[in-house]
Amino acid sequence: MKRALAVAAVALMTATGLVATTTTSASAHGTHHSRSHSSDHRSHSGAGYTKVVVAPAVYNLVTSAGITPAPLAGATAAPFKGTLAARFPITAYRLRGLQIRHSGGISLTAGAATISLSNFNIDLGRGRVSGVVAGSPGDVGRVDLFKIRGTDRADLGLVRLTLTSTAAGALNATFGVNAFAENATFGYATPRPFARR
């Protein structure tokens, strides 16, 4: 797991290097940036995306229960190796705490029941992924959704995402099931700072 997190941190630093190149160019046009602010969140465009692959067992569970996933607000999704892969645009980074922020999200809907998970924040310092939860039975706000673990499927992602108790509880409450449990694998994530969306 430590190695996987280190690789993810390198991906973050790579994204930072890309932004540094952009700000250096801006400095040539009279805009100056101090290194002392490098720990702040920086917004930027064209910084790639994070790919999240739903664990095949979870995808089978979701589809067999009649739950339909759909991308939100700039995210994209497509079939991938018998499951679903989504891409969430990277919008900002922070060196302090090793954080990567994203736009977009995903919704899960079954009949009148729906829940959306959006604006993900990968926090490598805490080993957590937070997001904004909204939908029925009610809006939750920003909470920790996943714990970051070492991958057991390198073909699906750099790190494994397991459910927090909050995320499992929200999913179970929304769809009236008890199929989701804390620490169960939900999917796999790979930051791709240089890739085109």
Q: Write the pLDDT tens digit of every residue in 45-73.
A: 457 899 999 999 999 999 999 999 999 98
The answer to whether residue 122 scores a pLDDT higher than 70 is yes
The answer to whether residue 75 scores a pLDDT higher than 80 is yes
DSSP 157: -
> What Å distances lie between residue 8 and 5, 87, 133, 150, 156, CA to CA?
5, 16, 25, 11, 15
Q: What is the pLDDT of residue 34?
A: 36
Altogether, the residues listed in the chain come to a count of: 197
**Ranges of H-type helices in 38-134:** 56-64
The answer to whether residue 10 scores a pLDDT higher than 60 is no
The per-residue pLDDT of the chain, averaged, comes to 80
Q: What is the pLDDT of residue 7?
A: 54
Q: Phi first, then psi: what are they for 54, rounded to 5°?
A: -70, 135
Q: What average pLDDT does the segment 155-183 reach?
A: 94
Q: What is the pLDDT of residue 186?
A: 97
Q: What average pLDDT does the segment 170-180 reach?
A: 91
Q: What average pLDDT does the segment 153-162 reach?
A: 96
Region at 183 (left for phi over 0; alpha for psi -120 to 50; beta for the rest): left
Q: What is the pLDDT of residue 137?
A: 61
pTM for the model? 0.78
The answer to whether residue 166 scores a pLDDT higher than 80 is yes
